[in-house]
Amino acid sequence: MPNPRSLVLALVLTSSAAVAQEHRLNIQDGSIQSLVSTVAEITGRNFVLDPRVDDASVNIISNRAMTEDEIYELFLSVLKVHGFAAVPSGEYIKIMPDAVARQDAIPNVFQADNLGGDQLVTQVIEVQHVTATELVTLLRPLVPQNGHIIAHQASNVLVVSDRAANVNRLAQIIRRIDTVNEDDIEVIALSNANATEVVRALNQLVPPNGQSSAAPKAIADERTNSVLLSGDPGARLRLRTIISHLDTPIESGGATQVVYLRYASAESLLPILEGVSRSLAGAGEESPATIQAHDETNAVIITAPPAVYRSLAGVIRQLDIRRLQVMVEAVIAEVSNDFSRELGVQWQAASIDSLNDSGPVGGTNFRTNAGTGPGIINLTPTGTGESGLNLSGLGPGLNLGYLSGTINVPIGRDDRTGETIFQEVPQLSALVSAIDANADNNVLSTPSIVTLDHQEAVINVGQEVPFVTGQFTNTGANNSSVNPFQTITREDVGLTLTVTPHINAGETVILDISQEISSISPQALAVDLITNKREISTTVMVPDGGVLVLGGLIDDNVQETIQKVPGLGDIPVLGNLFRYRNTQTTKRNLMVFIRPRILQDEATQNAVTGAKYNFMRSRQQEVMEGYQGLAAPEALPLLPTLEEYRQQQDGDN
């Protein structure tokens, strides 16, 4: 006879040769009897209803199709909610009240984890290392009122009768508690809970050590997420039971935690944590965690299940460490010597008195850099409308000559009168030039820089020199230039040190070094400026505080030039009068040394900083002691002592 209540039952059946049948079950204001009938039809099982099973109202909402086994699990859950249980009995399944079912022949199992979660079962659990009676006292609060747990002292076993899910949970807790304990200290590794939070809860349950000598002690090891227990065996057993109960998985998706970083950067740590989270999820699965970085507080915000969060927190603890610093000192020493010698004879003769006269003119001119004129004598006017002998063309060094009178040679016109300007020059000249030049150069540079481990640092001491890269001139009317311009680029000229240190376990430092020294050449023989450049780029390993030579340059260059008159210059002895010789010798020694120092702690950093600070202050004092200017010595700048400087800064803050 149909139930007078409103019953809505929807069955969606999909079947094929390879796919199991699936059903969608929706019941509104139905009865237990109607539900049993429907489940019997779907699963093919036979049910016998106890007369005490009342006509309770049942509501089931299903948003997806389910298999027969899933529908039967759902059926058992509905019975549990209404206080009923299903007890297998041969080919039939008896539906009876929960309290009566526990006294009936419910199935005995060896393991309850393979059965449905709401199936009534009885399991015998053997205990190896602890007393079963003690476990009953500890586990009783975890068993519901209708469940049963008893101990058999003779065989030291536990008999548990309850729903399969809770029986399986109790069995897992017993396995963790039932361990060999020969030492006074136990280490319990947690799988789901946080060790720090568990220890905080335990410390609120046990009295302080000062109140009871037998009170156990619990300590959290954050690195391994473990709890260390000490105390008498009975107390440790009680704590192990509580820990096992707390170390259970959480059904929800997890909580949100904010981790404040001390040394690492939240922005740089974010992609690493996201990669670890994806690896924990496995291939083809979405990341179980949501991770964000907060730059203002340098914090990482993590929303993840507890197990995933502990893995990420462990990665953060290992990466968020104080990084060592390295001070790198370089020594660049250069010694160069330029030596030149010149020796020669030049002749010059002329027999004309004016531009209208005719006569022989000749001579020798070997030194192209002796002066601005073409010969021995520079024919630059001494003044407008005046004449005179200008000897500025004579080269440096020893100049010996003989003048046999002078003649007037035209050198230009007067701008006011338009008359020709003449200058008196030797009629016959002979010049003997001898010069010995020696230039020494001694350069010492000691740049130093401090940087973090694995962090690149650059120090640049020099100037930005403009180099012409192009020019443009637009010629307008009357050959006048319109909007001329030049394009230039500025290059650093000076000393540049780029270094990246990598500290090894053996207190050695691997250095990625790029050292460049550049300067402007004094010779202007090119279209633009000429720069001298010396560069070293290498990777070396140096012990802490050791000194290593990076490289060097030893250059010995000799250039000798001989100029002579053909034929006359080859005559023995007399040929020296028609010969000019120039010898240049250049020697250059350049060495670069490097010395890294690991700044292990704050004391080492303060010692290095204080030494450099006091060195600069002592140099300022030396300048003040030797000062002879007009200003008072007290007006010269002087650093305060390092202690005074710190006190001053602390007072300003």
24 secondary structure, DSSP code? -
Q: How confident is the model at residue 585 (pLDDT cuts 50, 70, 90)?
A: confident
Q: Which residue type sits at 55?
A: D
Q: Note the pLDDT of residue 260.
A: 92
State how far the Cα of 475 lies from the Cα of 458, in Å rounded to an integer: 46
User: From the CB of residue 352, how many other CB atoms can be counted at a distance below 10 Å?
Assistant: 16
pLDDT score of 209 more than 50: no
**Span 302-324, average pLDDT:** 86
pLDDT tens by residue, 354-412: 445 555 656 666 655 544 444 455 444 444 444 444 444 555 555 556 555 666 666 66
Q: Which residue type sits at 428?
A: L
State how far the Cα of 409 lies from the Cα of 376, in Å rounded to an integer: 14
Host H or E run for residue 245: helix 233-246
Q: Which residue type sits at 416?
A: R
Q: Note the pLDDT of residue 379.
A: 45
Q: Note the pLDDT of residue 512.
A: 93
pLDDT score of 547 more than 50: yes
pLDDT score of 462 more than 60: yes
pLDDT tens by residue, 266-279: 999 999 998 888 88
Contact of 434 with 467, CB cutoff 8 Å = no
Q: How confident is the model at residue 499 (pLDDT cuts 50, 70, 90)?
A: very high
Give the residue, 449 or 370, on which the prediction is more confident: 449
**What region does 384 belong to: left with phi over 0, alpha with psi -120 to 50, or beta?**
beta
In what side-by-side order are the strands of the sheet with 148-152? 108-109, 120-126, 157-163, 148-152
**What region does 233 belong to: left with phi over 0, alpha with psi -120 to 50, or beta?**
alpha
The model's pTM is: 0.49
Task: List, as one string, the DSSP characters of 401-456.
Answer: EEE--EEEEEEEE-TTT-PEEEEEEESEEEEEEEEEEEEEEEEEE--EEEEETT--
Under 8 Å CB-to-CB from 473, ≥6 apart: which residues? 481, 484
State how far the Cα of 222 lies from the Cα of 226, in Å rounded to an integer: 7
Least confident of 98-112, 365-379, 564-578: 365-379
User: From the CB of residue 550, how many other CB atoms can be counted at a distance below 10 Å?
Assistant: 19
Q: How confident is the model at residue 3 (pLDDT cuts 50, 70, 90)?
A: very low
pLDDT tens by residue, 421-438: 766 665 556 777 777 777
Q: Which residue type sits at 57?
A: S
**Span 128-135, average pLDDT:** 82
Q: Note the pLDDT of residue 564.
A: 79
Q: Note the pLDDT of residue 75.
A: 81
**Paired strand residues for 502:** 510
Contact of 193 with 138, CB cutoff 8 Å = no
pLDDT tens by residue, 143-197: 887 778 888 888 888 888 888 888 888 888 888 888 765 556 788 888 778 888 8
**What region does 225 belong to: left with phi over 0, alpha with psi -120 to 50, or beta?**
left
State how far the Cα of 419 lies from the Cα of 413, in Å rounded to an integer: 5
Host H or E run for residue 79: helix 68-81
Contact of 62 with 49, CB cutoff 8 Å = no
Backbone φ and ψ of 644, nearest 5°:
-65, -40
66 secondary structure, DSSP code? B
569 secondary structure, DSSP code? G
**What region does 90 belong to: left with phi over 0, alpha with psi -120 to 50, or beta?**
left
